A and B are shown apart, each in its own frame.
Chain A
Amino acid sequence: MSRASQDYKSAVKPIWCPGCGNYGAMKALTQAFLDLDIAPESIAMVSGIGCSGRMSHFFNTYSLHGTHGRAVPTALGVKAARPDLTVLAVGGDGDGLSIGGGHISHAARKNTNITYLLLDNRIYGLTKGQASPTTDFGHKTKTSPFGVDEPPMDALPAFIVYDATFVARSSTVHVAELTELLKAGILHKGFSILHILTPCVTYPVFDARTLKATLQPLPEDHDRKDKMAAIVRGYSTNPVFTGIFFQTEKPTLEERLEGQAQPFAPERSGDELDMLRKVLYDFA
């Protein structure tokens, strides 16, 4: 069955400002679903709070727009319960690096088979322009009237150190590249995290033109298995590299859970009541 982009679109109208980078992410994600031919009803999209957290509203998927910072553990619950679904988590720099920052290392360690889109505009846009963990040093915002006096967080190298099994960076200014990386992330078996730079047009910390000027694809000879090279290139600010920095394969949380239950499969072959009785004998 061939699908059209319309099939992935919900009836909710996007609330983003005209020119917002998130439209690019939405377009890329739709194209990735189309290219991979994933049925809308088998997609679960969990998003956090903030402008980017609204992403799940606009897709005709099983969408859960939850609380601030908890998209990743919530998506983990969806995927662990239902490995048959394609599960995505979406959030911004506040969601994933500030309030919910603690969850990423654990999702990475568990290697839950979800794809996490961290849309980084380096500002709190929905609350009208306060500093985020990635706002540039010295940048003035309403909560940093004398300029941000803390260095911005280098998120991507941290994800590699967390042992996330797929770490990539892209931007919403290169939709074609983002689409390909999203597809690779969704197809990746394990926790895939995409650090996506997306300019905010209303409270800009950086704009599309300067972003384009600093972005550069990773060298062709970049070895995705070389963690140290990935970290070094992840720290680079000029150029800012895009592409898949690191990728490796490990058993996923879902595989391990399946592995725990598998040896008991013969015991479950009877009816439900039989199984319950056997559990009771465990205590007798």
Chain B
Amino acid sequence: MSSRPFRSDVNFVVRIGGEAGDGVISCGELFAQAAARTEYHVFTYITYPSEIRGGFSMVQIRIRDWTIYSMGSRVDYLVVFNQESYDKTISGLREGGMVIYDPDTVTPEPSETTRFFAVPLTQLARESGISGPGKNVVALGALGHLFDIDPVALKKLIRDRFLHKGDAVVERNIKAMEAGYEAGKACGWQQRFRLKADPDAKASYMMLSGNEAVALGAIAAGCRFVAGYPITPATPIFETLCRLMPKVGGKAVQMEDEIASISAIVGAAFAGEKVLTPTSGPGLQLMGEQINLASMLELPVVIVNVQRGGPSTGLPTKTEQSDLKFAIYGTAGESPRVVLAPSTVEDCFYQTIRAFNIAEIFQVPVVVLTDQSIGYRKATVRIPDFERFHFMPFHDLIEDNPVIPNPQHIDVVSRLEPTSEELVDYKRFRITDSGISPISRPGTPGGQYLATGLEHTEKGHPDYTPENHQAMTAKRFRKIEVLSNLLEKNPREYYGSPEARIGIIGWGSTEGAIREARYLAEQEGVLVRHLHPKIVLPMADRRIRYFLAELKHVIVVEENYTGQFAHFIRARFGIRPIEVHKCQGLPITPREILAAILNVARISDEQSITRL
């Protein structure tokens, strides 16, 4: 990452709120798309109720002239379609912020620090002859004027989006957008940043959601078999893969439930394919037994768990980082597995590739933990450069290490297969130094073997003798130890000043918010070091101890109630971190983290509590 200072001229947040069914999300997406075609970076955050219609729905778009790390802390521009969304979101507006509201449905409270502009969204939509929601397109037009977006570009976006509904619908929506644009002009506001389309400005960027990035990563990694069951908020991964798998010669099957889904991918992995199933918390729980089976059969499977608010049905459409303990410990008996946690939309792509590489090399189930906020977030990301991809059957682990992600050289690895010598008296589960034993592909003569969930010998035959169970358990876990040792060679995953005595540890989607909080703290004169492991199981113990060693205070930030990662850190490294939790179904903001950092800095000055 670049050390460019945290300063930006264009850096603002637009929030659009309304009732689900008002087209809030599509208004936000269209606006974000228009902005993404400019020279600026875009980052969206979406929250919606689990009902298709009714309930509060919101989309937030941040636009900046430099990489965006989080959704931001305060809202600069608020667009509200109804009273509920006004009531629920007005507190997030910064002082001096602007509100655009529909006078037919919203009565704002007068405020001296807020500028209000009434745009008759409902009325203009009706006048354009749109049946059903149309307010969103009117609002898009108004925003278009405010940010000086070329109306031609807006028309093109509307045409692309509504074309499948016919020309008449396209024309009515364009009319509504133009009405909104004129209404914006009539407001007499000063036009903000010019979001003029510049096709060349960002030719090397594209806009993706975290869920799409996972799907693309899977395809790039060579995944050609997907089985799944729809579950919010993981469904878009499955939908994307259902659409793309046939294009790349792969297969996607919708199964009857999560147990069947993971069973099917275990079967397909046994058959020789690279496989994936996307799910969310409740689905992951159902998959528990089959994940153990994959561990026992030493089959490479990738499970992507897009976390949502829990427990039980919980908050299906909200974000939370609360499946970590289940991903790590959710196992009857001791079954080795690997858990990854991508931290940005772009990282979702690369960590998914890494998940497949680890699964294939070590023949283990790999759980990728993302969450609703990163899954639904859309961000401008660098287009992956496939020239830097290297496809290989299997890599010598010592010579060159594909577990280390290197943007200049992305390896795509497939499982180790037996040589013809090894097929003579083939031992599928041969005990080796690394724990890795060659896996034969069905159809290979002489490669037949028994893969049983019972404890087994090197040949795969059932065997419950004491020595065998100990030896085979050690073999399976040795693979994780080898991986852990390789991780020690990873490029550093922490940032910030070596002088800092306050450390902050996070995992998953909070990386951007923590990074911004660190910059903000630095502006206040407080130095912070930030560690953000992408692989949360196993961890590179020595590197983390090194990170912890010189710190006086460690803060662990996570979006859950009980501090799951903090417990893990505490148990593993014997320290007592200060825990910062947010359990509201919403992403933590940089300012919330900053408050925690400044509190700790104050305590640190007073020489009290928490010693390492």
Contacts and interface: CB of A to CB of B under 8 A. Distances in A.
B246 A65 contact: no
Contacts of B270: 44, 62, 64, 74, 77-78
Interface in A249-282: 253, 257, 260-261, 263-265, 267-268, 272-273, 275-280, 282
A40 interface: yes
Interface magnitude class on chain B: 35 or more
B256 A103 contact: yes
A78 B268 contact: yes
A283 B443 contact: no
A105 to B, nearest CB: 8
A10 B384 CA distance: 48
Contact of A82 (B219, B272, B391, B451): B272
Interface magnitude class on chain A: 35 or more
A57 B452 CA distance: 8
Contacts of B249: 261, 264-265, 268
Given A261-B250, A268-B249, A283-B216, A80 B264 contact: yes
A273 B386 contact: yes
A60 interface: yes
A84 B265 contact: no
Interface string A55-73: 0110011111111001001
A63 B443 contact: no
A168 B443 CA distance: 28
B184 interface: no
B442 A78 contact: yes
Interface in A81-110: 81-82, 84-85, 102-103, 105-106, 110
A284 interface: yes
A180 B272 CA distance: 31
A42 interface: yes
A279 B247 contact: yes
A41 interface: yes
B264 A65 contact: no
Contact of A275 (B225, B248, B442): B248
B251 A81 contact: yes
Given A78-B267, A264-B246, A273-B389, A65 B454 contact: yes
Nearest to A84: B443
Contacts of A279: 216, 219, 244, 247-248
Contacts of A282: 244, 247
Contacts of A61: 448
Contacts of A82: 268, 271-273, 442-443
B200 interface: no
A39 interface: yes
Interface in B211-226: 212, 216, 219-220, 225
B276 to A, nearest CB: 12
A65 B450 CA distance: 7
A280 B206 CA distance: 9
B256 A106 contact: yes
Given A66-B453, A77-B271, A253 B253 contact: yes
A76 interface: yes
A12 interface: yes
A75 interface: yes
A63 B452 CA distance: 8
B447 A41 contact: yes
Interface string A24-48: 0000000000000001111010100
A11 interface: yes
A62 B272 CA distance: 11
Given A70-B259, A260-B246, A279-B248, A46 B452 contact: no
Contacts of B149: none
Nearest to A60: B448
Contact of A73 (B263, B446, B452): B263
Given A73-B263, A73-B264, A82-B443, A257 B253 contact: yes
B450 A57 contact: yes
11 contacts: A64-B297, A64-B451, A76-B260, A77-B269, A78-B271, A81-B251, A102-B256, A106-B256, A264-B249, A272-B391, A279-B216
**5 closest pairs, A vs B, by CB?**
A77-B267, A77-B264, A81-B268, A73-B263, A65-B452
Interface of A: 10-12, 39-42, 44, 46, 56-57, 60-67, 70, 73-82, 84-85, 102-103, 105-106, 110, 253, 257, 260-261, 263-265, 267-268, 272-273, 275-280, 282-284
